[in-house]
Structure 1
């Protein structure tokens, strides 16, 4: 048995009990949470609640008993951090590709959380204990900027900005093909695929609402590949990868969506090895903007493309010059 006690933050005031718990305990499935409610293993202010739709209020104390095995608390690991900014409340970090954000199945030591615990003892502990400081995530093979909370006040305020969609995140992506129109918006609810539980997919009913804005910045190899900037209105798992793949423009290097190797076959022969060896989605979080929770100052940060993506672009540009295309 595993008992957890949570205090409802202001941004989840008047939310359904099952939804609020799912948002606060993101590594626990909604089915697990709903089963605990049905089995009378959830209390609100020391009173048992078996109604999923019970609306809970700010500062309510929720306890939940989970029978399932939960990963042990993460331990510090000496992994170097690329710190872009830090103060007493938060950090902005440039996460490299290949680094998982938080511990999960099969990886309990070599994650960003382990690195954070080695760097500082000042991290928020809102929600799931395997995610101290983590307000939002990047996929393992996505590089770029993340903001980390060093206390619960900051965490709750930043999480509220994400819910209110005032925390701005912009990404650069190399995608297959030429988008038409070159600037637009992609809508499509996202849910886990029933055919492959590793993948997410667009669904007509259910799932979570997701919106991605995109703008084409550059067209390479006569439209074979494009550089696209994406801005998230929501932040669902694999959102940019799923949305762009859904409209026929999956990310270069993406091993999960979009038949990457098949598309490489249509590239100039000189680029085949370079593209085949690029084993991660060419996606980089280059810009983040938010209101500092304590000072109310608008902070924005931006960084250059990750070195491996920039190197791939350099090779693409060389190929364009050799072929004589503009």
Structure 2
């Protein structure tokens, strides 16, 4: 861990004071070797202290006399190795690959998960992929949490990677999820528009965080598909794609995803779930070359259908 201590001086703040002396811009000015995105990442991860206190808002203003401490974790280079891991392929051509990801499969390598990931499997399936979209996350356009199942698209060319990312940013690509939540929503549908950011205390969690404190706009549309007593099968549609978005939003409105080890209370439902009952059900996008619309549906995993059947039986019995 490398530690950098900075005393904010009048000379260092003058070049940007006329525009905006907010924290991330100031650090970009005085630490030219670090990119703005890297600095924002360090702030988000709690590696920046302002006057001795952790600061997770990139927008906070700095002033002359402030003390800033930046901790830069040592880089841990990852060696990506192709691994013959079976893939459930929903669609494939020369530009893209869409698979049905199982629970328990991490999308890309990271410290603690350097092998056995989706990227390792894709490198074995597509040997020409390295370097597309970044060395450490080749081909990855978006991600799914480790225990979230369902459709995920992989770009096989740089052109496809840029085009697919642009669709996600412009919200032209559609992502629909099915999830089973605790409780019974009072209405049949709704929209959750609450910003999400890193949890201020538990750094491995996300939380609803005001934009002025570093949160990013997050919008989730939902509707009830089936009421199951004190449980509900929900349909979710993402307008944005923040980390843990559906899981955080569902918990925030009082209906956490069943089986979520992080955001729910862990109540037993009588089915041994590997994690949250959340499935990326449909993926709709425009082909990066032909322009044609592609829509794939990822079949529900067996454990999800088992849970659904158990809850349906309980509901039927309760109505008798």
- Give the alignment partner of residue 273 of structure 1, picking from 270, 273, 276: 270
Task: State the partner residue of 1:160.
Answer: 166
Q: How does 1:258-269 map to 2 (within 5 A)?
A: 258-261=264-267, 264=268
Q: How does 1:1-326 map to 2 (within 5 A)?
A: 38-41=30-33, 68-123=74-129, 125-204=131-210, 205=212, 206-221=214-229, 224-261=230-267, 264=268, 272-274=269-271, 277-325=272-320
Task: Work out the CA distance in 1 between the residues paired with 2:165 and 2:26.
Answer: 23
Query: Cα gap change, 1:101/1:285 in structure 2, threshold over 3 Å: closer, same or farther?
Result: same
Task: Work out the CA distance in 2 between the residues paired with 1:249 and 1:199.
Answer: 17
Task: Work out the CA distance in 2 between the residues paired with 1:117 and 1:37.
Answer: 38
Aligned to 2:226, the other structure's residue is in SS state strand
Aligned to 1:273, the other structure's residue is in SS state coil
Shift of the alpha carbon at 1:125?
Answer: 2.7
Q: Given that residues 124 and 149 in structure 1 are in contact (C-alpha distance below 8 angstroms), is that contact kept between their aligned partners in structure 2?
A: no
Could you give the per-residue CA deviations for residues 210-244 of structure 1, whole angstroms, max 9, x where no partner exists?
A: 000001000002xx000000000000000000001
Task: Work out the CA distance in 1 between the residues paired with 2:108 and 2:302.
Answer: 23
Query: Cα gap change, 1:321/1:163 in structure 2, threshold over 3 Å: closer, same or farther?
Result: same
Task: Work out the CA distance in 2 between the residues paired with 1:127 and 1:155.
Answer: 6
**TM-score if structure 2 supplies the norm length?**
0.76
- RMSD after superposition: 2.4
Unaligned ranges ≥5, structure 1: 1-29, 44-51, 54-65, 265-271
Q: Structure 1 residue runs of 4+, over 6 Å off?
A: none
Task: Work out the CA distance in 1 between the residues paired with 2:134 and 2:27.
Answer: 18
Aligned to 2:270, the other structure's residue is in SS state helix
Matched pairs, number: 262
Q: Given that residues 124 and 150 in structure 1 are in contact (C-alpha distance below 8 angstroms), is that contact kept between their aligned partners in structure 2?
A: no
Task: Work out the CA distance in 1 between the residues paired with 2:190 and 2:270.
Answer: 32
Task: Work out the CA distance in 2 between the residues paired with 1:196 and 1:245.
Answer: 16
Task: State the partner residue of 1:25.
Answer: none
Q: Given that residues 288 and 301 in structure 1 are in contact (C-alpha distance below 8 angstroms), is that contact kept between their aligned partners in structure 2?
A: yes
Q: Given that residues 148 and 278 in structure 2 are in contact (C-alpha distance below 8 angstroms), is that contact kept between their aligned partners in structure 1?
A: yes
Q: Given that residues 213 and 230 in structure 1 are in contact (C-alpha distance below 8 angstroms), is that contact kept between their aligned partners in structure 2?
A: yes
Shift of the alpha carbon at 1:37?
Answer: 6.3
Shift of the alpha carbon at 1:100?
Answer: 0.3
Q: Given that residues 124 and 151 in structure 1 are in contact (C-alpha distance below 8 angstroms), is that contact kept between their aligned partners in structure 2?
A: no
Unaligned ranges ≥5, structure 2: 1-22, 36-57, 60-71
Task: Work out the CA distance in 1 between the residues paired with 2:285 and 2:151.
Answer: 12
